[in-house]
Amino acid sequence: MQLDTAQVIQLHRRVRAVLDECDQLTFRELVDRTPVLLDALLPAVRVRTVYENDFAGGFTRLQHGFAPEPNDSLTYVLTFPGPPEPLQFNAYGFTGSPEELVTTDLFFRGLRQLLATAGYREALDLQARRDWLTGLPVQKRLEAALDAQSSHTAPSALLAARLPAGQPEEELERRLGRLRKFAHSLRLNLPEEAAAYLTEEEVVLVRCPDRALPHVEKLVHRLAPEAQTAYALSGEAGGGKSLITLACSRLDGWRTGITGSPAPWARAAQLPLTIHCREPLIRTLLEQRTSDWRFEAPLTLLADFPQGAALQELPGLPGPVAVLTDSTSVPYLSDLNDLTPAGLIAGQGFLELRPQLERIATGEKLYAGPPLELPGLFPRERQVWRLLAYGHSNSDIARKLNIGERTAANYYSGLRDKLQLDSRHAVALSYWGRSDNA
């Protein structure tokens, strides 16, 4: 049975009377009250509200209207894309009468209009602070936080991430949907010490302590394997906006510097890094971590694992060579430095490595480690100390240095007295920055 015009007008007035009482409600109040409003019109019909983030794959039904179910029942689906966030209403329990179906359709059409009005009203209030689509604070909030960062604050890093643009024919709604899901997952999984922001160019920026950068980058690629990432460290630029510009420019193939002039890495960053390390596992991990790093000149990274290997390996490697070691022992580092590597990076984490290697690749001589202040030792005493540290006996030392064994023993005795140590074992350990009690 079809309804005539007068009946439809009467149903419309009834629906409007219910909805007009809600025109000043907030978006959240309106969503929460929807089941009560529908119950006042159709007591037998129930409605379930579903948020998009409750579904890992997003909404599968995007229509607005009745959808048949496998059991021949009807469900009315209203998908609201936002702002402030996407959600879906599913109404069920229909008897199938014409009055019921028309009332339902009129109700949800009116509800959609109210939701849009309330949502955009709240989005306008929030737009200076937070992006309604992703829920992320906007770039200006990040700039303010970076500008307020004290020079005494622990070093921080800024990771820039951008999702691929997709195919030209891809619908805008789907592209924005991918960004929305990525941002939501990121918010849920970021450590407390990190925070994400959104630029106007849809680049997601994550601010975190520099020690947390590898974890954050790994998280981003786990959530969005196709994402392009780059980073900048707090010491590389000045205020908030310049650091943001630096991180974002590196997403674009490292083409421009933060001052507008060509950046040091912009000239010919095309050559991969060569890794040399005696420990196969560490070499593999370093190769994986640096696989996309490119430099403007050939560069070898000599990883000092096991500790002490670099001193033996460095003379046989063609330059330029940068040595990475976790040692902070001054005598060992002094001996390494005497071999004049292109760079010596000691006792530091992995986070600063890429910009340091970029500087070395441009021809800069770099030392990053503790001050190399040795006790007053003669060159020959230093040689004996190093050979002792590698476990050589007096006869071995005499043969390697082409001196008498008694002379080697005398050098050892003098070295022990100057270091104020009481055993050969203690002298050897002291070379590596350790003691008998360590």
From residue 106, give the alpha-carbon distance in Å to each of 13, 25, 55, 101, 103.
10, 19, 28, 9, 5
- What rounded mean pLDDT belongs to the chain? 82
Query: Quick one: pLDDT at residue 54?
Result: 59
325 is in which domain, residue-wise?
271-368
Q: Which residues pair with 364 in a beta bridge?
A: none
Residue 180 lies in a domain: yes
Task: Please give the Cα distance from 5 to 298 (Å, whole number).
Answer: 81
Residue 133 lies in a domain: no
Residue 132 lies in a domain: no
Which tokens is 375 given?
A: 């006790």
Query: The domain spanning residue 169 has which CATH number?
Result: 3.30.70.270
Same domain for 389 and 305?
no
Query: The domain spanning residue 294 has which CATH number?
Result: 3.40.50.2300
Same domain for 291 and 253?
no
Give yes or no for a contact between 123 and 83, defined as CB atoms under 8 angstroms apart. Answer: yes
Q: Of all helices (H) and strands (E), which one includes residue 82?
A: none
Query: Quick one: pLDDT at residue 150?
Result: 58
The residue from 238, 264, 290 where one domain ends is: 264
Task: Please give the Cα distance from 356 to 263 (Å, whole number).
Answer: 14
Strand 204-209 relative to strand 228-233: parallel, antiparallel, unpaired? unpaired
Query: Quick one: pLDDT at residue 256?
Result: 34
Length of the chain: 438
* Tokens 């049975």, residue located: 1
Query: Quick one: pLDDT at residue 67?
Result: 81
Query: Quick one: pLDDT at residue 255?
Result: 36
Same domain for 335 and 354?
yes
The residue from 223, 241, 264 where one domain ends is: 264
Mean pLDDT over 332-340 rounds to 90
Decide: residue 292, CB within 10 A, 0-12 exposed, 13-18 middle, 19+ buried: exposed
The residue from 204, 232, 264 where one domain ends is: 264
From residue 428, give the alpha-carbon distance in Å to each of 171, 336, 338.
68, 17, 20
Q: Which residues pair with 208 in a beta bridge?
A: 157
Query: The domain spanning residue 44 has which CATH number?
Result: 3.30.450
Which residue in 383, 382, 408, 385 sits closest to 395, CA to CA?
408
Same domain for 56 and 120?
yes
Q: Which residues touch 329 (CB under 8 Å, ≥6 apart)?
A: 431, 432, 433, 434
Query: Quick one: pLDDT at residue 152?
Result: 53
Confidence class for position 436, pLDDT limits 50, 70, 90: low
Which residue in 229, 236, 250 sits closest to 160, CA to CA?
229
Task: Please give the Cα distance from 263 to 251 (Å, whole number).
Answer: 14
Neighbours of 138 (CB within 10 A): 18
Mean pLDDT over 73-99 rounds to 86
pTM for the predicted model, two decimal places? 0.41
Which tokens is 353 given?
A: 């490595």
Neighbours of 111 (CB within 10 A): 23
Query: Quick one: pLDDT at residue 30?
Result: 92
Same domain for 19 and 94?
yes
Render pLDDT for 152-186 as a digit per residue (tens, 0 to 9).
556 678 899 999 876 655 566 677 888 888 998 99
Query: Quick one: pLDDT at residue 258?
Result: 33
Render pLDDT for 392-412 as a digit per residue (tens, 0 to 9).
999 999 999 999 999 999 998
Instruction: Using the predicted structure, report yes or no on whether residue 71 has a pLDDT greater than 80.
Output: no
Give yes or no for a contact between 369 and 345, defined as CB atoms under 8 angstroms apart. Answer: yes
Render pLDDT for 29-64 as a digit per residue (tens, 0 to 9).
999 999 999 999 999 999 998 876 655 445 555 567
Residue 131 lies in a domain: no
User: What number of CA atoms fall less than 13 Å from residue 139's CA on the CB side?
Assistant: 17
Mean pLDDT over 363-378 rounds to 83
Q: Which residues touch 268 (CB under 8 Å, ≥6 apart)?
A: 296
Which tokens is 41 given?
A: 């019109």
Q: Which amino acid is at 386?
A: R
